[in-house]
Amino acid sequence: MSESLSGPARCALLLYALGAEAASAILERLDPEQVGRILAASRRLRAEDADAMQRVLQEFQQVVQGNRMLPGESAAFLEHLLHKSGAAVPDVSEEEVGLCPEADAESLAQVLQNEHPQTVALVLAHVDVKRASETLQKLPLERRSEVVLRMAGLSAVPVPMLRQIEASLQSELKRRNRSQVRRLDGVETAAGLLKRLPKAQVSAMLEELTKRNAELAERVKRNLFTFEDLVGMDDRGVRNLLKEVDGQVLAKALKVADEALKERFFKNMSERAATMLSEDIESLPPMRLSEVEEAQKKVVEAAAALVQEGKALLLGAGDEQVV
């Protein structure tokens, strides 16, 4: 744990994590005695001490976030870093500007991922703390420490520079929004398509899919029908399902089902059994939706097994009526 390490040892781990360029910039600003103590501590580090590096970085980040007003020499440190990176040294301005208020953390992280750490630091220093924190967490770990280091050295930046950065960000955000890809669940889409085909075709397609990709075929099979789809199960299948499923589980599963699905089960029960099931459903106490969904999942799994064994038919839109 980092708590067991000395201050110089923690400094050594932090410098190693920040990388050669940032470490060099920091060491140049320390006096020889401090550098010597860090160097001596680094030589005493053991292999297991490397596990504390992440904790040291977290401690450093907490210190930075807890000290938003930094000493006056931080401006000189920033200037030194800017000179090393070849960037122009900005004039100081006290005016604060909020950047891209409509952009969420995910969008900001995508736009900033290839930007210079100095630009990232400037942007995150001028958005609200919540978004800045979320955006930082979405950046690669090796870039986070560099960004935090540069943010810690910030003092003030001219508003025109911030406006220029914001205009560039807004342009990139708009470009990305225009080219956004629509995400979809391919397995769910494929299963939805198969449900509308005759069962003979579905069986043939699943058999071929299993040969090519057994895992994907299994996922498609699990999505082939939902609890609501049981309204299309044949009478023989419903009666077999009633033998397989516990009464209380079925009652929970039907608690929020529509009347057509309830009637599908009642129709295949004796009048007395149907009345008892109806009373069981009515007498159920308030339940979490997750409990109902879990009961429905058990019923669907039992139904799927019956279909697989040929003991039930589940009609799709492309199937003929079973008589």
Reported as a single tens digit per residue, the pLDDT across 116-141 is 888 888 888 888 778 888 888 888 88
What mean pLDDT comes out for the span 75-98? 45
Reported as a single tens digit per residue, the pLDDT across 2-41 is 456 777 788 887 777 777 777 777 777 777 777 888 888 7
Percent of the chain with pLDDT over 90: 20
Residue 86, Ramachandran bin (φ over 0: left; ψ between -120 and 50: alpha; else beta): left
Structure tokens of 95?
């005016």
Q: What is the pLDDT of residue 165?
A: 80
Cα angle for residues 148, 108, 185 (degrees, 5° grid): 125
- CA-CA distance, 221 to 188, in Å (whole number)? 10
Domains detected in the chain: 1-66 (no CATH), 70-181 (1.10.220.30), 186-308 (1.10.220.30)
Which residues face 314 on adjacent strands?
233
Does residue 292 surpass a pLDDT of 50? yes
Q: What is the pTM of this model?
A: 0.39
Does residue 86 surpass a pLDDT of 80? no
Reported as a single tens digit per residue, the pLDDT across 223-238 is 777 888 899 899 999 9
Least confident of 213-217, 218-222, 262-266, 267-271: 218-222
* Residue of 14, 20, 1, 7 whose CA lies nearest to 148: 14
Q: Which of 60-69, 79-88, 201-210 has the highest mean pLDDT?
A: 201-210
- CA-CA distance, 180 to 322, in Å (whole number)? 46
